[in-house]
Amino acid sequence: MTSISAGSAFYKVQAALDRNTKSVATSMERLATGEYGTNPGDRASSTMLANTMKSSLASNKMGLQNGREALNVMDVINTSLKTLGNILVRLHELNALGANGLNTTADTLSISFEAADLLTEYAAVQTDALWAGRALMTTASTILMNYGQNQNQQTLGIISVAITATSAKIKTGTDATQLQVDKSVLDVQVISQAHSFLQVSTRMTDLTSLTASYALDISSKLDVDFAAETTQLAKGQILAQAGTAMLAQANAQGQGMLALIQS
């Protein structure tokens, strides 16, 4: 026997159509924003964890910036050290040249003038080695490096290489004073700088890898999976079209029952 309740199919189809329409709307919102959490409460736990990691990521990025600045500082020092080394080499050459008994008075005077100019330049290089107004080579000190949240701090040495005119005289003619420049001091500073550079470079490599991992994890928690969501959208659209067709048939079924009653 046919019952009037057969019209309930219309309401069931309508309910299914509403669910499909909502699913399609959600997929469209996610694809448009690129985020899963388009509505309050969506993936709340994942969002909370991602926000916590965002602070660590931001801190690590600043740590990388600090590290890059440290490398730039060491580059300034390294360039100055090379210049000082070249000056020392020339001073030793002049010391040997000045001891040559075949030099004329003019030769000796020329050697002395060049040596004096080099010593002046030596002092100027040390004075002009600055970073943000801070002297890098005239005062021995340290720099405390911070690489971000939960990262160990690192202490870098700022070097002092002082050689004055009174301790670096060139032997000329009968002057028995030899060049009093200890190049080993400079060599030690070059080795120290190389070690500091390696420390910072190694830390930067590790921090770059960690930062990339943080960014990837945050993306996995917040960013929509476009391939999966596109598939879900297509499925929802097909179901919505089918639901619309079934709704029409269910409505027609109800109209048929009404026609039977009226007849």
Residue-wise pLDDT for 91-105, tens only, equals 888 878 887 888 888
Cα dihedral value 18, 19, 23, 29, nearest 10 = 50
Whether residue 113 has pLDDT greater than 70: yes
Whether residue 219 has pLDDT greater than 60: yes
Write out pLDDT tens, residues 60-76.
Answer: 888 899 889 888 888 88
Higher-pLDDT residue of 174, 204: 204
For the chain, what is the domain count? 2
Shared-domain flag, residues 51 and 160: yes
Distances in whole angstroms, Cα of residue 53 to Cα of each of 39, 40, 210 = 21, 20, 12
Q: If DSSP codes are grouped into helix, strand and coil, which group holds residue 131?
A: strand
Q: What is the pTM of this model?
A: 0.64
Helix, strand, coil percentages (3-state) for the chain, rounded to 5, are: 70, 5, 20
Q: The domain spanning residue 168 has which CATH number?
A: 1.20.1330.10
Residue 180 lies in a domain: yes
Q: Tokens 């090379």 sit at which residue?
A: 82
Strand partners, 158: 141
**Which pLDDT does position 50 carry in this prediction?**
76
85 falls in which pLDDT band (50, 70, 90)? confident
**Which pLDDT does position 9 carry in this prediction?**
66
Residue 206 lies in a domain: yes
User: What are all long-range contacts of 51-59, with beta carbons under 8 Å and residues at least 24 apart?
Assistant: 53/214, 53/217, 53/218, 53/221, 54/218, 55/149, 56/148, 56/149, 56/150, 56/214, 57/211, 57/214, 57/215, 57/218, 59/148, 59/149
Q: If DSSP codes are grouped into helix, strand and coil, which group holds residue 135?
A: strand
Report the C-alpha gap between 50 and 43 in whole angstroms: 11
Write out pLDDT tens, residues 11-49.
Answer: 777 777 777 777 777 777 777 766 666 565 566 677 777
Shared-domain flag, residues 144 and 89: yes
Domain membership of residue 17 as a residue range: 4-34+224-262
DSSP-derived letter for residue 171 is P
Residue 39 lies in a domain: no
Which residue from 207, 227, 210, 232 is spatially nearest to 146, judged by alpha carbons? 207
pLDDT above 70 covers a percentage of the chain that reads 71
Cβ contact 51:41 at 8 Å: no
Whether residue 143 has pLDDT greater than 60: yes
Write out pLDDT tens, residues 150-172.
Answer: 777 777 776 666 555 444 455 55
Which residue from 150, 153, 152, 128 is spatially nearest to 142, judged by alpha carbons? 153
Shared-domain flag, residues 166 and 190: yes
